[in-house]
A and B are shown apart, each in its own frame.
Chain A
Amino acid sequence: MEETLMDLDLKEREEYVINMGPQHPSTHGVLRFETCLQGEKVKWIRPHCGYIHRGIEKMSESLTYPQLVHLTDRMDYLSAHINNEAVALCVENAMGVQVSDRVKYIRTILAELNRIASHQLWWSAFGMDLGALTTFFYGLRDREKILDIFEESTGSRLLQSFITPGGLMADVHPNFQKRTREFITYFRKKLPEYDQLLTGNVIFQERTKGIGYMSLEDAINYGVTGPSGRGSGFHCDIRKIAPYSAYPLVKFNEVTYTQGDTYHRYLVRMREMWESLDIIDQLIDNIPQGPIMLELKAIKPPKGEFYQRVETARGELGVYIVSDGGPTPARIRYRTPNFSNLFIINKIAAEHKIADLVAISGSLDLVIPDIDR
Chain B
Amino acid sequence: MYDFGPLVNSITSWLDTTFSPFWAGLISMVLLGLVLLAFYAVLGLYLVYAERKICARMQNRLGPNRVGPGGVFQTIADLIKLLMKELIFIRNADSFLFNIAPFIVIVASIMAIGSIPFAKGLQAIDLNIGVLYILAISSMGVIGVLIAGWASNSKYSVIGAMRSGAQVISYELSVGLALLCIIAYAGSMQFSEIIASQEDGWWIFKGHIPAWIAFVIYLVAGTAETNRGPFDLAEAESELTAGFHTEYSGIKFAFFFLAEYMNMFIIAAIATTLFLGGWLPFHIWHFDAFNKVMDYIPPVFWFFGKTAFVIYLMMWFKWTFPRLRIDQLLALEWKYLLPINLMNLILISFLILMQWHF
A→B interface (CB under 8 Å): 16, 18, 24-26, 37, 40, 127-134, 136-138, 141, 197-198, 201, 203-204, 206-207, 353-358
Contacts and interface: CB of A to CB of B under 8 A. Distances in A.
B322 A204 contact: yes
13 contacts: A18-B156, A24-B241, A37-B159, A40-B159, A40-B326, A131-B230, A131-B236, A133-B229, A134-B58, A138-B60, A204-B322, A206-B328, A207-B328
Given A201-B321, A203-B328, A207-B328, 4 more contacts: A37-B159, A131-B323, A207-B324, A355-B233
A66 to B, nearest CB: 40
A203 B163 CA distance: 18
> Main secondary structure on chain A at its contact with chain B?
helix
Interface in B307-352: 319-328
A132 B321 contact: yes
Contacts of B81: none
Nearest to A17: B155
Nearest to B318: A133
Contacts of A356: 325
B60 A129 contact: no
B326 A141 contact: no
Contacts of A127: 322
A138 B155 CA distance: 33
B61 interface: yes
Given A25-B241, A128-B238, A203 B159 contact: no
A204 B61 CA distance: 24
Given A18-B155, A358-B239, A133 B319 contact: yes
B200 interface: no
B59 interface: yes
Contacts of B232: 131
A17 to B, nearest CB: 9
A137 B60 contact: yes
B237 interface: yes
Given A18-B155, A131-B230, A355 B239 contact: yes
A131 B322 contact: yes
B53 to A, nearest CB: 14
B325 A358 contact: no
A137 B326 contact: no
B326 A355 contact: yes
Contact of B325 (A37, A134, A355): A355
B29 to A, nearest CB: 42
Given A134-B319, A137-B60, A203-B322, A129 B230 contact: no
A131 B231 CA distance: 9
Contacts of A137: 59-61
Interface string B138-152: 000000000000000
Contacts of A40: 159, 163, 326-327
B238 A132 contact: no
Given A40-B159, A353-B326, A203 B239 contact: no
A353 B322 contact: no
Given A131-B230, A137-B59, A137-B61, A26 B324 contact: no
Contacts of B322: 127, 130-132, 198, 201, 203-204, 207
Interface string B224-254: 0000011011001111010000000000000
Contacts of A357: 239
A129 B238 contact: yes
B34 to A, nearest CB: 37
Contacts of A16: 155
B238 A26 contact: yes
Contacts of A201: 321-322
